[in-house]
Structure 1
Amino acid sequence: MSRLRTLLFNLVFWGGSVPIVLTVPVSAWFGQRAVIAHATVWTRFHRWATRVLLGIHVRIEGERPDGPALYAAKHQAMFETLELQRLLDGPAMALKQELADIPVWGWATRRYGALVVDRDATSTALRKMMREASAAKAQGRSILIFPEGTRVRPGEQPPIKSGFAGLYRLLNMPTVPVAVDSGRLWPKRGPKRAGVITFRFGEVIAPGLGREEIEARVHAAINELDAPRP
């Protein structure tokens, strides 16, 4: 049943995503807000498809602060990259360079205002990302990053990437860790399983902490749900 559900989801969601992505240039004529609204339509379609076709539901724990914030989330599956766009009302999201280079899709993400991250973490790339994040903050947008740097399997807890502390210091925004356990139901390969994915918004962390403390607090909070389950 899981294989059949996954096949149906792939056909419906990815098939439906093609016209959504290809029509982004129409929204782009009306500015960035229209592109963000366009992206939200896509993520709502994703939420419908995952709920109806895969039987995946979402549970929210904790509360978000009022106003923009720096959200630092666990990354175990593609699921949270789209779901958090919807839940956080169109944040400026960190996106790896390889995705930003995809024709049409990459152009669309740049119009959306994504923060392009070079995994080689060169000083030039890091400064560029910092500028993009500062510009997003000036627009009143929240920032979403995955501070461990990459998607990981359940149980894996790599250290926080060095650029996170610099971004935290530069933006001087309240920081919200987000734990997620999507990898239990949404493996990188193989069929997806029905069930409940939890998003846990942790305690808001004020600006001004030193590097070691902010990294330790964020790392602990985003991994709160990362324990073996039946």
Structure 2
Amino acid sequence: MINRLRTWLFVLVFYGGSVPIVLATPITSLFGQRAFIANVYLWSRFHRIAARVTLGITTRYEGKIATEPTFYAVKHHAMFETLDLCMTLGNPVFVIKRELASIPVWGWAVQRYGAIVVDRDSNAAALRQMMREARQALAQGRSVVIFPEGTRVAQGETPPLKSGFAGLYRVLGLPVVPIAINSGAVWPKKGPKRPGVVTFLFGERIPPKLPREEIEARVHAAINVLE
């Protein structure tokens, strides 16, 4: 019951406080990309504080966080890591599903932020567009984050990687840093959230130009070490 009450309190605090922040995005965008990203950073920080105060959820980062633009492959359990990584990785660009970009106001905001929108059944032209946008993000000094399993999964689930990851890895020609996360243990897809520590484990850099089977196997193993 206590965890359920904590969860309700978080919903009231976080979503209530998020309304003015999200609605302010069209205004901050008038002052340029820097002001817009500062607003996203504010939202990310507010989310971390709300989770800590109302839910008792804190974060721990292990491993080396790169200081230069990097290609990250991240385990995905919850919204938690999406917002937290905005601040930790210096406002990276996320590869997101088309459905998320269709959400009123928020969908416009994430595209204005620079998210790379892809369809699950993308054709060749759409995939090429994704590659171009990823290169542009790196050229602007921003890291690129992809959730290679394609969607959120429950703690303990380890589905195969989607094909889009291997394509992006091949075209960018960059090393990839895998990140394992255990947020699903305290932030389940269903039911109340629980207090605890969310660990972000940054794996060793995996070199570019590996065969598809090898890179997928290494990334899959690395992002699932906390399952």
Tell whether the structures are fold-level matches, with TM greater than 0.5: yes
Match runs of 1:92-103 below 5 Å:
92-103=93-104
Name the CA distance, whole Å, in 1 between partners of 2:157 and 2:121: 21
Residue 73 of structure 2 corresponds to which residue in structure 1? 72
Deviation at 1:121, TM superposition (A): 3.0
Residue 53 (structure 2) pairs with residue 39 (structure 1): no
SS in structure 2 at match of 1:35: helix
Alignment deviations for residues 56-104 of structure 1 (CA, whole Å, 9 cap, x no partner): 0111111122301101000011111111111101000112111111121
CA RMSD of aligned residues (A): 1.1
SS in structure 1 at match of 2:189: coil
Contact 2:100 / 2:107 at 8 angstroms: preserved in 1? yes
Partner amino acid, structure 2, of 1:108? A
Residue 116 of structure 1 corresponds to which residue in structure 2? 117
Residue 157 of structure 2 corresponds to which residue in structure 1? 156
Name the CA distance, whole Å, in 1 between partners of 2:158 and 2:125: 27
Residue 5 of structure 2 corresponds to which residue in structure 1? 4
TM-score of the aligned structures, taking structure 2 as reference length: 0.96
Name the CA distance, whole Å, in 1 between partners of 2:3 and 2:189: 14
Residue 194 (structure 2) pairs with residue 184 (structure 1): no
TM-score of the aligned structures, taking structure 1 as reference length: 0.95
The worse-fitting range, judged by mean Cα deviation, of 150-159 and 45-54 is 150-159
Name the CA distance, whole Å, in 1 between partners of 2:161 and 2:118: 15
Residue 83 of structure 2 corresponds to which residue in structure 1? 82
Residue 25 of structure 2 corresponds to which residue in structure 1? 24
Residue 59 of structure 2 corresponds to which residue in structure 1? 58
Residue 49 of structure 2 corresponds to which residue in structure 1? 48
Name the CA distance, whole Å, in 2 between partners of 1:51 and 1:97: 31
Percent identity, aligned pairs only? 65
Partner amino acid, structure 2, of 1:118? D
SS in structure 1 at match of 2:141: coil
Residue 127 of structure 2 corresponds to which residue in structure 1? 126
Alignment deviations for residues 83-133 of structure 1 (CA, whole Å, 9 cap, x no partner): 111110100011211111112111111110001121223323322222211
Contact 1:32 / 1:113 at 8 angstroms: preserved in 2? no
Name the CA distance, whole Å, in 1 between partners of 2:41 and 2:53: 18
Contact 1:65 / 1:204 at 8 angstroms: preserved in 2? no
SS in structure 2 at match of 1:93: strand
Contact 1:69 / 1:142 at 8 angstroms: preserved in 2? yes
Name the CA distance, whole Å, in 2 between partners of 1:154 and 1:225: 9
Deviation at 1:212, TM superposition (A): 1.2
Contact 2:29 / 2:36 at 8 angstroms: preserved in 1? yes
Name the CA distance, whole Å, in 1 between partners of 2:135 and 2:181: 26
Residue 185 (structure 2) pairs with residue 172 (structure 1): no
Name the CA distance, whole Å, in 2 between partners of 1:115 and 1:182: 23
Name the CA distance, whole Å, in 2 between partners of 1:175 and 1:214: 9
Question: Gaps spanning 5+ residues in structure 2: where?
Answer: none
Q: How many residues align?
A: 226
Contact 1:180 / 1:200 at 8 angstroms: preserved in 2? yes
